[in-house]
Amino acid sequence: MNRRNEGGAGSSRRVFLRTLGAVGVTGALAGCSFGAREDAGDGGDGDGGDTADGGDGSDSGGSTGNFFEQGPTIGVEAVATGLVSPTALVTADDGTDRRFVVDQTGVVYVHGADGLREDPFLDLSDRLVALGQDLPNWVAFDERGLLGLAFHPEFADNGLFYVRYSTPATDDELDHRERLSEFRATADGTRGDPDTERILLDLPWERPIHQAGTLEFGPDGYLYAALGDGLNPFNGQDLTNNLKGSVLRLDVDGRTGDLPYGIPDDNPLVGREGRDEQYAWGLRNPWKMAFSGDRLVLGDVGQATYEEVDVVEKGANYGWPLKEGFHCHDPQLGTSEDGECVVESDRGEPLVDPVLEFPHFDEEGYPVGFAVIGGHVHTGSVDALRDQYVFGAFTSSFTEAAGRIVAATPRDTGRWPMREVQVEGGLDIQVLSFGQDGDDSYVLGTRAALAENPLSKREGVVYRLTS
């Protein structure tokens, strides 16, 4: 286990809290709450995880914890730069060698063999809320914007694709609205036509946080859409009056009644109490999800102490706000601890445990990571990561880019063992997302620290993972 000196854990924790006070937040990307562990002990878990700057961490607030075991070393190669805040990298099954990079500011770029094309595939920046404006002082990073993109499985024939974005509200009591829309590409498929928008969902959002936003088509041909709890924890257990805190499953090719989409007949709440669109619930802020075969895996951002990754199953309740990770959560106090937890919902549903968790701080009080970033199972060219679930932590610092990449071994039952992926030369970004194109895996992020107002800088980058 790596030991630190020149100030020790207590000093590092105080520096981290001073930094926290300087930027005036209790939350960051994906809505995690930050706070120091007051019960820090003398030991750590595992032997991986150096400080983010390679030193003792006592000056930067960027020291990282010893929770993760050390994993394989890989390289990264920058394939796109000059972005602001890349939130997704997806592909279309149309036979072309191109990747679509979503920038939170409202633009979808095409990345081809010659790099990032200057002419965007789609520009919705004029339909977005004004990012970074009129935020409460506890929000360090504006989570609104262009958040998700998925191409119809028959995109090559029908030209249809789907986006999630945050648009202004006309009601003064709302912060904004979250919109899920269908668009159509031009006849040659080179651009998306913004005038073809067909709105599927237009949801009121009271606060500028916990939107989630990932869209994924499943092997069944249905569209899966992640919605955060809107910073109201009780939405995760309310199945009748809202769609928040859930994963939805929609038939974009059908129509049910007056709805602009169809409801699959085998959705778990069809014929029962609750909204028929819901597929799974009890989630806080599911930030990024992806299919591996027929298994859907997502990262759900924690509040008090723990981050978690879940395998999503039809009709499953993942416990928020009654549990956080494997631990009891008190929704009134906002705290998590071990003890005799609630094991089922008021409706009698068992609360499903995640497949892994990691804490915000290690046992010595050093930051481990805040805001889990869901990833995917790597099937590409980096042998050290083959068949591993590759995901990350957004950051462990406010004053420098200090994201982390983690690899977990999927199992059919029980917890997934995990190790931190070592990046040759270090990882110099806050991790925002992961993507894959069949041959390669990518990590997306920004080199700007939280204290530097990342949305005001073009420090966004897409890295390809290499051996």
97-131: per-residue pLDDT in tens? 999 999 999 999 999 999 999 999 999 999 999 99
Question: What was the pLDDT predicted at 6?
Answer: 36
Confidence of residue 35 (pLDDT cuts 50, 70, 90): very low
Q: Residue 414 belongs to what domain range?
A: 8-466
Question: What was the pLDDT predicted at 314?
Answer: 98
How far is 100 from 117, CA to CA, in rounded Å? 10
For the cut 70, the answer to whether the pLDDT of residue 60 exceeds it is: no
Question: What was the pLDDT predicted at 140?
Answer: 81
Question: What was the pLDDT predicted at 33?
Answer: 41
* Domain assignment present for 3: no
Q: What is the CATH number of the domain that holds 374?
A: 2.120.10.30
Confidence of residue 342 (pLDDT cuts 50, 70, 90): very high
Confidence of residue 18 (pLDDT cuts 50, 70, 90): very low
What is the torsion angle, in degrees rounded to the nearest 10, for the CA atoms of residue 293, residue 101, residue 386 and residue 29? -90
Question: What was the pLDDT predicted at 137?
Answer: 87
* Domain assignment present for 150: yes
For the cut 50, the answer to whether the pLDDT of residue 444 exceeds it is: yes
Q: Tens digit of pLDDT for each residue in 371-399?
A: 999 999 999 999 999 999 999 999 999 89
* Domain assignment present for 192: yes
Structure tokens, 248: 């939805």
Question: What is the number of domains present in the chain?
Answer: 1
Regarding predicted confidence, which is higher, 36 or 452?
452
* Domain assignment present for 450: yes
Backbone angles phi, psi at 246, to 5 degrees: -145, 165
Cα→Cα distances 249→123, 274, 278, 349, Å: 26, 14, 6, 20
Question: What was the pLDDT predicted at 171?
Answer: 87
Confidence of residue 37 (pLDDT cuts 50, 70, 90): very low
Q: Tens digit of pLDDT for each residue in 225-252?
A: 999 999 999 999 999 989 999 999 999 9
Question: In one letter, which amino acid is 276?
Answer: D
Strand arrangement of the beta sheet that strand 69-83 belongs to: 370-377, 389-395, 404-408, 418-423, 69-83, 460-466, 441-446, 430-436
Cβ(315)–Cβ(401) below 8 Å: no
Confidence of residue 65 (pLDDT cuts 50, 70, 90): low
Cβ(446)–Cβ(459) below 8 Å: yes
Question: What was the pLDDT predicted at 64?
Answer: 58
Confidence of residue 337 (pLDDT cuts 50, 70, 90): very high
413: CB partners within 8 A, 6+ apart = none
Q: Tens digit of pLDDT for each residue in 196-230?
A: 999 999 999 999 999 999 999 999 999 999 999 99
For the cut 70, the answer to whether the pLDDT of residue 159 exceeds it is: yes
Counting residues of the chain whose pLDDT is more than 90, the rounded percentage is 80
Per the rule left: phi > 0, alpha: psi between -120 and 50, beta: everything else, 204 is beta
Residues 441-454, mean pLDDT to the nearest whole number: 95
* Domain assignment present for 2: no
Any idea which residue has 């806050």 for tokens?
430
Q: Tens digit of pLDDT for each residue in 289-321?
A: 999 999 999 999 999 999 999 999 999 999 999
Backbone angles phi, psi at 270, to 5 degrees: -65, 125
Regarding predicted confidence, which is higher, 407 or 139?
407
* Domain assignment present for 1: no
